[in-house]
Amino acid sequence: MATVVDRLLGRPGETRAKVEGVRAGSADPKAEVWRRVQLARNLARPRTLDLLAEMADEVIELHGDRGFGDDPAMVAGFARIDGHRVAFVGQQKGADTDENIRRNFGMPHPEGYRKSMRVMELAERFGLPIVTFVDVPGAHPGPESEERGIAEAIARSIGMMSRLRTPIVAVITGEGGSGGALAIAVGDVVLALENAVYSVISPEGCAAILWRTAEEAPTAALAMKMSAQDQLELGVIDRIVAEPGEGAHADPRETARRLRTAIIAELDRLEELPPDELVEARYRRYRALGPYTEVATPEVSPPPSRTIADRLRDLLDPTRWSMGMPSPGSSRRDEPQAHEEV
C-alpha cells in the first residue's frame, strides 16, 4: 500500500526505505523523535545564510519591509544557484548567543514577514522562482509583535504564496514552528532535511496544555508526529533530503551540497510548467490537505426554537429546581478556559 502511494505521488523509493530503516533502528520511538527535535535545534546546525553561502554562486541580501524596519530574524534577497536566478527568503537563527540575541533566536516580527512578502512579490514580477528556508521556533510572541499585526502578516503571506505565479520550493531545514513557519512554507513542493521537524505548536507548548506539564514535551513530540518522516507520510512534505553522518551540524558543507542537488532538481522540473498549471496544482495541494469523513444527516435543520414542550420539560426536570443562589462560576457554558496556542 505504502509503495503504491509512493508511486502515485512520484516519490523516490529510497526515501521510503530510509524511513523504514530509521524506524527499525530505533528502540524507543519517544527518545528517537526527541533526539531529532534536539538535532533540529542544534546550535551548530547550518542556517539559511550558511546554506546559501555554500550552495549559491552569488547572494545579494535585501533589507527592510518599507514600512517599519528590517528584521534580522528573517533574511531575503536574490541568489544564483547553478544558473538558476532565484529569490530566497528564510528565517535566520544565530550561531552563538550574541548573534541569537541580535537575530531574536530566529523568531521574526511582522516586519520580517512583510519583508519576505515584498521580495516574493518582486520575484513574481521579474519571473524568478522562489526558494524558502524554514527554521523557526515560532513567530515572535509578545506585545510589539501583536501591535504590528503578526497574525495579519502571517495570514497575508500564506494567502499570497498560494497564488504567486512563479515556482516555489520550500525547504524545512530545522524547526518548522507553527504559523511562523507556514507563512513562508507554502510551496509547489516542500522538502525537509532528514532531522527537521514540523509542528502546529512547540512540543513544550503542546505538553503544557494537554499534559499540564512541559516535561511531557517528548511525549507530545511523538504524539504530534513532528519528525520529517512522519510529515512525509502525512503528505505535508513531499521529499526528505538525507543529512550526512551524525546530522547537518556535523558536515554543513555536505548538507548544503545535497540540498543544492535537490533544489536544482525541483527548480528544473517546476520551471517547465506553465504558471496557470503551477498555481492550480499548488492550490489543490493545500485545498486537499486534512482528512475528514462525511456521515449521513437530516437534509436541512433550521435552528430549533424553544417550544412549549421544551418549557414543560424544563419545569419537570428536577435538575433545574435549584432555586437558591448558585455557586459562582458554576455555569459551565460560560467562560471556559481559553486554551492557548501559538
321-340 binders of other proteins (CB under 8 A): 322-323, 325-326, 328-336, 338-340
Stretch that binds other proteins, among 68-76, 88-96, 158-166, 240-248 (CB under 8 A): 158-166
133 touches 91 (CB < 8 A): yes
Give the orientation angle of helix 150-163 with respect to helix 110-125, to 10 degrees.
20
Closer to other proteins by CB, 56 or 116: give it: 116
Closer to other proteins by CB, 128 or 164: give it: 164
Residue with cell 495579519: 152
Closer to other proteins by CB, 157 or 260: give it: 157
Distance in angstroms (rounded) separating the CA atoms of residues 91 and 116: 10
Q: Is 235 exposed, middle or buried (0-12, 13-18, 19+ CB in 10 A)?
A: middle
Distance in angstroms (rounded) separating the CA atoms of residues 176 and 174: 6
Phi, psi of 329 (to 5 degrees): 75, 15
Q: State which of positions 170-229 bind other proteins (CB under 8 A).
A: 176, 178-179, 182, 186, 198-201, 205-206, 209-211, 220, 223-226
Shortest distance (Å) from residue 328 CB to other proteins: 4
Return all residues near 158 (Cβ < 8 A) that are at least 6 apart.
182, 183, 186
Residue with cell 519583508: 115
Binding mask 237-276 for other proteins (x = CB under 8 A): ---------------------------------------x
Stretch that binds other proteins, among 1-9, 250-258, 262-270, 279-287 (CB under 8 A): 279-287
CA atoms within 13 A on the CB side of 163: 5
Q: State which of positions 110-149 bind other proteins (CB under 8 A).
A: 138-143, 145-149
Shortest distance (Å) from residue 163 CB to other proteins: 5
Shortest distance (Å) from residue 89 CB to other proteins: 16
How many residues line the site for other proteins (CB under 8 A)?
A: 91
Closer to other proteins by CB, 27 or 339: give it: 339
Closer to other proteins by CB, 86 or 279: give it: 279
Element (H, E) at 144: helix 143-147
Shortest distance (Å) from residue 185 CB to other proteins: 9
Closer to other proteins by CB, 164 or 248: give it: 164
Q: Contacting other proteins (CB under 8 A), which of 8, 98, 274, 294?
A: 294
Q: State which of positions 39-68 bind other proteins (CB under 8 A).
A: none
Query: Which grid cell is 82?
Result: 547553478
Interface with other proteins includes 154 (CB under 8 A)? yes
Q: Contacting other proteins (CB under 8 A), which of 236, 240, 248, 259?
A: 236
> Which amino acid does the sequence have at 183?
A
221 touches 37 (CB < 8 A): yes
Distance in angstroms (rounded) separating the CA atoms of residues 306 and 52: 65
Pairing of strands 168-177, 189-193: parallel
Shortest distance (Å) from residue 132 CB to other proteins: 13
Closer to other proteins by CB, 59 or 160: give it: 160
130 pairs with which residues across the strands? Answer: 87, 168
> If we measure between CA atoms, which residue out of 204, 179, 217, 228 comes closest to residue 342?
179
Closer to other proteins by CB, 96 or 339: give it: 339
Q: Contacting other proteins (CB under 8 A), which of 4, 27, 300, 316?
A: 300
Closer to other proteins by CB, 69 or 244: give it: 69
Pairing of strands 74-81, 189-193: unpaired
